[in-house]
Chain A
Amino acid sequence: MGLIAQAVASGVVTGAVYALIALSLVMIYKSTDVINFAGGDLLMTGCYGALMVLAANAPFWVAAMVSVLGIAVIGAGFDRLVLDRIARHTRGQDIMVAMVTATIGLSYVLKGTIRALGYADEVRSLPPQFTGPPIMIGDVFLLRQDIGILACAALAGLILFLFFRFTRLGRGLRATAEDPRAAALIGIPIRRMRMLIWAIASAIAAFAGVLVAPKILMTPDMGGIVILAFAAGVIGGFTNFPGVVIGGILLGVIENLVGLFVSAQAIAVAPFLVIMLVLVLRPQGLFGGGALAIRKV
């Protein structure tokens, strides 16, 4: 029983990080219909950005802030300089193809830049911010770092919820995400809103990276975690914020239970089996709306 509880506890923490990245993806998808394949590499760049600032002997919180803000600027700049131009100069279905391709391009640019800066040689990490002996609950011990990750992820989720629900800007962003045409009709500057959404979503990815780097470690290929965030999105329902959070946590737990009861080798396959099952049985995700709510990209 202790083993199961331990595996579930660790899975919840990992899943919370999947959920954060998935939130970033869903924000962009809902507002622009674009699947952001660079989400994982924005996270990765955020980690290395923080590492570079730390190397200049800055305190951790300064490094984290600089990194999150820097990635927000990259995200906003990418939207304004690349996606916005594509949107204005491309027509019909080609827009989506071009935009998704652009995000793949951004992914390679970010990865290539980090490698070119000489960070490809070894595994790295950011210093854990929550240290001390583990907390024991029965047979299960919880690392302070894991509790910290979970708390920060929950706090970030709560702040996002409050921001989108109760602020004027947040409501404008939601309106843009839900129906850009209607939002434009009532005077919401949707270009600016989309840029802001890219900035916020990129910042969330960077925040998730800084949070999780001590746990999953850093390599220029760590952005591959975005695939698991996609899986979380599909499981939870790609248009449903709370559903995505639950999908992420479910995925983290499922991975660990599969590792415990089947084999460690099956961990890599489990998310994709779950995706296929969900797509076959409930294509809109466990918490998504009706099947017709799934939009074609």
Chain B
Amino acid sequence: MKIRSAWLAATLFLGLGGAAQAFPVGDPVGPYADPGITDKEIVIGLFGPQSGPLRNFGFDPQGAAQMWYDMVNKSGGIWGRKIRLVIEDDKCDPTTLNGVVRKLVTVDKVFLLNGGSCTPAAVSAQEYITREKVPMVMLNAAGDTALFPPTRYMFGAFGGTQLTVGGTMVDFIAKELKAKTLGYLGNDDDFGSANLAAAKYMAEQRGVKLVAVERVPVNIVDITTPMLRIRQANPDVVMITTYPQPATLAMQKVNEFGLTMPVVMAVQSIPNPAALVKNIGGTAAFKSFYYSSPLNDLTDGPRQQWVHDMYKAAFPDRTPTAFMAYGMPSAQAVTYALMLAGPNPTRESFVDAMSHLKFETGIMAGPIEFGPERRDGMNSSIFIKFDGTNAARMPGVFVNEYRGQK
């Protein structure tokens, strides 16, 4: 998919363009009710971690968002206005992000905020943006705690929340692997709680019995006993949803214990499949191994190629991480909602437009969809079979049905 045609398709999909006039040009007239908008431009505060230990989570996604906005500007902007970005570094740190958000709103007087790559940092801005009534569209933070329960001005989870990850994993395990029993290993934090809640719900819906549930601290040194208990329960499938280090320790135990049942790992557990194999010291544990992905293909698959080509053209000196593509749907959503909000948008009309947005990104596993009471954008995953050397996409897209219901 060519990027220009994606933009054109979206414009037509949203019913705002025409065959002759793909890029909406209106007749903007001031004065404007909100700051950050003139006849010529809309100012957007774009932020993510540009430095610090968590830089990898957001540096490339922010670049992806930036290149989308550049493309929109080169195509004429939105309703005749160019997008002007004010870019800031939040270091994925709650205190820094709060300072960045306040500065963007009060000093730079942006129209809206597009940023946040780490949930704890992004959540910390919620109270402020709600009070100031400034729309904030998260960049690539999962943001469970920011989006459940939904609040008016905060949107996100373009790569899915942990509800999505947990729910879709069980959907896959039940439908594709035909499992009846499941051993679960997850985090003992908020992330893990959300993931497990969805996994439990979906297991009940699909008739899968959770025979072992082990939740481990993020800094666990020895994972022997949780894995012993899972082995003792002898489940049809082992599901691992921890952060990478405990997940790698768990796979070491799968290898050491000689477990032969399929293992399904969450996307956050396996940022680099090759590194996982290296750390385990061989491919024996990967005979029946799968992992989830919020993208529509392998990162080097044909459906992702256009994003990588576009990124390479925009930033020839950078080698993008696997997270890169996650940043673009967020910017897509912002531009589409600005189009829907009409030639003279306000922050409120932008929020209303976001609340009715539904579009295909050409990047993610499923559509981005918000609603009057829905602020998490994506609810689907694909699954990849990995034998330690080769990776292949499994057929189908798997959907989470859990949205916090009891």
* Chain B residues numbered 208-260 whose CB sits less than 8 Å from any CB in chain A: 214-217, 219-222, 224-226, 228-229, 232, 244-245, 248-249, 256
**For A265, what are the chain B residues with a Cβ–Cβ distance below 8 Å?**
188, 215-217
CA distance A241 to B173 in the complex (A): 51
Which B residues lie within 8 Å of A121 (CB)?
56, 271-272, 321
Whole-angstrom distance between the Cβ of B250 and the nearest chain A Cβ: 11
A30–B248 alpha-carbon span in the complex (Å): 37
Residues B56 and A120 in contact, CB atoms below 8 Å apart:
yes
A225 within 8 A of B: yes
| Cross-chain contact B249 with A217 (CB below 8 angstroms) | yes
Known A10-B224, A252-B222, A256-B225: A120·B53 in contact at CB below 8 Å: yes
In contact, A217 and B229 (Cβ under 8 angstroms): no
Judged by a CB distance under 8 angstroms, whether A115 is at the interface is yes
In the complex, what residue of chain B is closest to A221 when comparing beta carbons? B219
Who on chain B is nearest to A252 by CB? B222
Check B256–A143 contact: CB distance below 8 A: yes
- B215 vs chain A, min Cβ distance (A): 5
Binds B, one of A70-78, A90-98, A123-131: A123-131
Residues 244-295 of A contacting B (Cβ, < 8 Å): 252, 255-257, 259-260, 263-265, 267-268
Report B-chain residues with C-beta under 8 Å of the C-beta of A214: 281
Nearest CB in chain B: distance from A249 CB, A: 13
B226 touching A123, Cβ below 8 Å: no
- Give bound CA distance, A120 to B219, whole Å: 15
> Is B279 in contact with chain A by the CB < 8 A criterion?
yes
Residue of B nearest to A11 (CB): B222
**A152→B249 CA distance, assembly (Å):** 22
**Is there contact, CB below 8 Å, between B219 and A268?**
yes
Chain B residues near A123 (CB, 8 Å)? Answer: 244-245, 248, 275, 279
B233 → chain A, closest Cβ, in Å? Answer: 12
Report chain B residues within 8 Å CB of A14. Answer: 221-222
A134 to B256, CA, bound (A): 8
A209-242 interface code vs B (CB 8 A; 1 in, 0 out): 0000010110111001100100000000000000
Given A3-B228, A120-B56, A264-B188, A125 and B219 contact (CB-CB distance below 8 Å): no
Q: Does B406 belong to the interface (CB within 8 Å)?
A: no
Decide if A101 is an interface residue (CB 8 Å cutoff): no
CB 8 Å contact bits of A16-57 with B (1 = contact, 0 = none): 000000000000000000000000000000000000000000
User: Are A217's CB and B216's CB within 8 A?
Assistant: no
CB B196 to nearest CB in A, in angstroms, measures 12
Q: Which residue of A lies closest to B221 (CB)?
A: A216
Query: Closest residue of chain A to B54, judged by CB?
Result: A120
B224 touches A7 (CB 8 A): yes
B131 within 8 A of A: no
| In contact, A267 and B229 (Cβ under 8 angstroms) | no
**Residues on B with beta carbons closer than 8 Å to the beta carbon of A256:** 222, 224-225
User: Are A6 and B228 in contact (CB-based, < 8 A)?
Assistant: yes
B224, A217: Cβ atoms closer than 8 Å:
no
| Residues on the A chain within 8 Å of B225, using CB | 7, 10, 256-257, 259-260, 264, 267
Contacts of A228 in B (CB 8 A): 221
> Of B55, B56, B221, B224, which is within 8 A of A225 by CB?
B221
| Chain B, residue nearest A7 (CB) | B225
User: Whole-angstrom distance between the alpha carbons of A260 and B245 in the complex?
Assistant: 20
In the bound complex, do residue A224 and residue B279 qualify as a contact, i.e. CB atoms below 8 Å apart? no
- In the assembled complex, the CB of A126 is this many whole angstroms from the nearest CB of chain B, namely 10
Return the CB mask of A127-144 against B: 1 if under 8 Å, else 0: 110010010000001010
B74 interfacial by beta-carbon distance below 8 Å: no
Interface pair A125/B278, CB less than 8 Å apart: yes
Instruction: Give complex CA distance A263, B219 in Å.
Output: 15
Whether A6 and B224, one on each chain, are in contact in the complex, defined by CB atoms closer than 8 angstroms, is: yes
Contacts of B245 in A (CB 8 A): 123, 217, 219
Min C-beta distance of B227 to chain A, whole Å: 9
Which residue of B53, B232, B249, B321 is within 8 Å of A115 (Cβ)?
A: B53
> Do the beta carbons of B279 and A217 come within 8 Å of each other?
yes
Chain A residues whose CB sits within 8 angstroms of the CB of B244 once the complex forms? 122-123
Q: Determine the residue in chain B with the shortest Cβ distance to A265.
A: B188
Give B220 Cβ to nearest chain A Cβ, in Å.
6
CA–CA, A134 and B249, complex, Å: 17
Chain B residues within 8 Å of A127, by CB: 281
Interface centre among A11, A124, A256, A267 (most CB of B within 10 A): A267
CA distance A10 to B275 in the complex (A): 25
Give every chain A residue within 8 A of B188 (Cβ-Cβ): 264-265, 268
Q: Chain B residue with minimal CB distance to A13?
A: B222
Q: How far is the CB of B96 from chain A (nearest CB, A)?
A: 16
With a cutoff of 8 Å between Cβ atoms, the chain A residues found around residue B321 in the complex are: 121
Given A216-B249, A259-B225: A125 in contact with B256 (beta carbons within 8 A): no
In the bound complex, what is the Cα–Cα distance between A7 and B221 (angstroms)?
Answer: 13
- Complex contacts, B53 vs chain A, CB 8 Å: 115, 120, 220
Chain B residue with Cβ nearest A115: B53
Interface centre among B222, B228, B245, B275 (most CB of A within 10 A): B222
**What separation, in Å, do the CA atoms of A115 and B51 have in the docked complex?**
11
Q: How far apart sit A14 and B225, CA to CA, in the bound complex (Å)?
A: 13
Docked complex: B191-219 residues within 8 A CB-CB of A: 214-217, 219
| Known contacts A120-B55, A122-B271, A219-B245, then 8 further A-B pairs from the complex at CB < 8 Å, ordered by chain A residue | A3-B228, A121-B272, A217-B248, A224-B219, A255-B221, A264-B214, A264-B220, A265-B216
Residues of A whose CB lies within 8 Å of any CB of B are 3, 6-7, 10-11, 14, 115, 120-125, 127-128, 131, 134, 141, 143, 214, 216-217, 219-221, 224-225, 228, 252, 255-257, 259-260, 263-265, 267-268
Closest 6 CB pairs of A and B: A259-B225, A268-B217, A10-B224, A264-B226, A125-B279, A14-B222
- Chain B residues proximal to chain A, CB less than 8 Å: 53, 55-56, 188, 214-217, 219-222, 224-226, 228-229, 232, 244-245, 248-249, 256, 271-272, 275, 278-279, 281, 321
Can you offer 21 A-B residue contacts whose CB atoms are under 8 A?
A3-B228, A6-B224, A7-B225, A115-B53, A120-B56, A124-B275, A216-B221, A220-B53, A225-B221, A256-B222, A256-B225, A257-B225, A259-B224, A263-B214, A264-B188, A264-B216, A264-B220, A264-B225, A264-B226, A267-B225, A268-B219
